[in-house]
Homo-oligomer: A and B are copies of this chain.
Amino acid sequence: MPFKKGDRVLLVDEKGKKFMLDLGERETLHTHHGIVDLTEIEGKEPGFVAVTHMNREFSVLEPTLVDYLQKMKKLPQTIQLKDACQIIAHTGLSNGKRVVEAGVGSGALTLFLATAVAPDGHVTSYEIRDDFANLAQKNLDGYGVTNYTIRRQDIYDGIEEHDIDLVALDLPEPHRVTAHAHEALKHGGHLFSFSPTIEQVTRLYDSLDRDLWVEVTTIECITREYEVKRTGTRPKTLMLGHTGYLSFARKK
């Protein structure tokens, strides 16, 4: 289907550098490799190659969820996709599941979870900071998901939902949510908590009554990127050494 005004498009240069924009928003894109005339994209199919006045090529594609998450405005400590996807690996999160999340932050995890449970599932996100709630709503609406609700409430005070499949926390004091999460979850449902420091993890464990929870586990997910070149193959010299600890528990 050809691109039309209002479509969100992704422009990728020869090195893989990406630009995301909405067609019709502006007429040109200024890059280090020259100016792209955006008006010529309308009516073209994905894969169209736009050529700058410096004769450099940009492929014009439809952005995926990942492109959007990379390009949308985020908070500095947003949970990364390498970590977020481990939620699916541990809980089997899929279409139709009901999720409670806190805090919403920039909405990156919310968007990831809402997409994972779409079309029939729903994510309710608790957030007390208005600036975060507004940013998240802008990001979620911008991508076009609708299966979410932002509650401007403090999850430390309780969770209103019941029969929930997953409670996902990215909070400084996850141990204060354990009891609420247990009440909100269905039997067999999962608690997930992301914590940058190990002390947050140990406090969470102290709050988890082993008569009420099983499959209590904490992992780190470390991705190691490789350079594969004519001159040889090796892991990249610099690496993201740590983002956070991923803790899981399951309601008996």
CB of A214 within 8 Å of the partner chain: yes
The answer to whether A235 touches B228 (Cβ under 8 A) is no
Chain B hits for A89, CB < 8 A: 66, 81-82, 84-85
The answer to whether B226 touches A187 (Cβ under 8 A) is no
Is chain A's binding surface mostly helix, strand, loop or mixed?
mixed
- Considering the complex, which residues of chain A in the window 33-66 have a beta carbon less than 8 Å from any beta carbon of chain B? 45-47, 49, 59, 61-62, 64-66
Total chain A interface residues with beta-carbon distance under 8 A: 78
Q: Give the contacting residue for A94; candidates B84, B118, B214, B221; CB below 8 A.
A: B118
**A194-208 toward B: CB 8 Å interface, digit per residue (1/0)?**
001111111001000
The verdict on A187 contacting B45 (CB below 8 Å), with A92-B65, A225-B219 known, is yes
Q: Give the contacting residue for A95; candidates B45, B67, B95; CB below 8 A.
A: B95
Chain B hits for A197, CB < 8 A: 231-234
Whole-angstrom distance between the alpha carbons of A80 and B239 in the complex? 17
Query: From residue A221, how far is it (CB to closest CB) to chain B in Å?
Result: 5
Q: Which residues of A contact B (CB under 8 A)?
A: 10, 12, 14, 16, 45-47, 49, 59, 61-62, 64-69, 81-82, 84-86, 88-92, 94-95, 115-116, 118-120, 186-188, 196-202, 205, 210, 214-226, 228, 231-245, 250-252
